[in-house]
Amino acid sequence: MGTDLLEQFRLQFRQLRGALLVLAALPLVPALLFNLIGGEEERILGTLLGLGLLALGIRKLRRGRLRGAALLVGAATGIAAGMAGQVAPVAAVVFGVMACFGTRLLYANAPAAEVEPPPPQPPMPDPRPDPLATPRARLAALDGADARLRPALAALHELVAELERRPEATGEARRFLNLQLDGLERIDARLRQGAEPPESLPQLVEDMARGSATLRDRIRAEENAALEIQVKVLADRLREEGYA
């Protein structure tokens, strides 16, 4: 409960930041009108300078820059007192110093002004092209192909999943994928047009599925062999260094 009240007070204080300075500047407004009527140029200039510097001080205060705001308030007070109030120069300086320190004391514990976070930056596009984007899209387009082609398509899906984990092995595999996808697309197009499948079609589909499985297993075997070599090299190095 106490924490909520303190937070509400901080929010209200932030919203009223500089309100006391505005109240302090209100007497300068009728003074400016009287000086305009009386034609007192020096007093008019002093009042305008005081109001302008005070406005700049309030602006800096709302941005959380207390030191700059205090200096501007002190300058505004000194100029207004010396030129508009016609007080002695020493007294004007004293009034300015007092206003400067008074502002710093008044807002010393004020909560910092909230800074709006920068707008989120759009994600940077990946500069590396996806070598499997085209084969993946072509394979997805064949998901509704003739049921007799599904064994070959299922094996291609498994091969693509294996290549996604090992993108460095896509050189030969992409040529294999393009060859199979070209053939399956042509066969599916003919079947959709009502062509009678030849007796050799099931054997061809089985051979295509076997070829995909063989390539997938070979890629896995090469990766396993590379890992085995790395383990052996590291073990030999540890023994040479006397750590094993």
Q: What is the pLDDT of residue 210?
A: 93
Q: What is the pLDDT of residue 144?
A: 86
**Low-confidence residues of the chain: pLDDT under 70:** 1-40, 46, 50-51, 61-62, 64, 66, 81-82, 84-86, 95, 101-118, 123-128, 167-170, 244
Taking the C-alpha atoms of residue 84 and residue 132, their distance in angstroms, rounded to an integer, is 79
Q: What is the pLDDT of residue 168?
A: 67
- Return the domain boundaries, the chain: 7-11+16-106, 133-240
What sign does the dihedral 184-189-192-196 (CA atoms) show? negative
Taking the C-alpha atoms of residue 158 and residue 119, their distance in angstroms, rounded to an integer, is 41
Q: What is the pLDDT of residue 85?
A: 65
Output the CA angle 9-14-17, nearest 5 degrees.
120
For 64: left if phi > 0, alpha if psi spans -120 to 50, otherwise beta; the answer is: left
Task: For 119-133, write each residue's pLDDT tens digit.
Answer: 777 766 656 677 778
Angstrom CA distances, 232 to 222, 227, 235, 239, stand at 15, 9, 5, 11
Q: What is the pLDDT of residue 45?
A: 72
Q: What is the pLDDT of residue 1?
A: 47
Q: What is the pLDDT of residue 163?
A: 84
Taking the C-alpha atoms of residue 62 and residue 54, their distance in angstroms, rounded to an integer, is 12
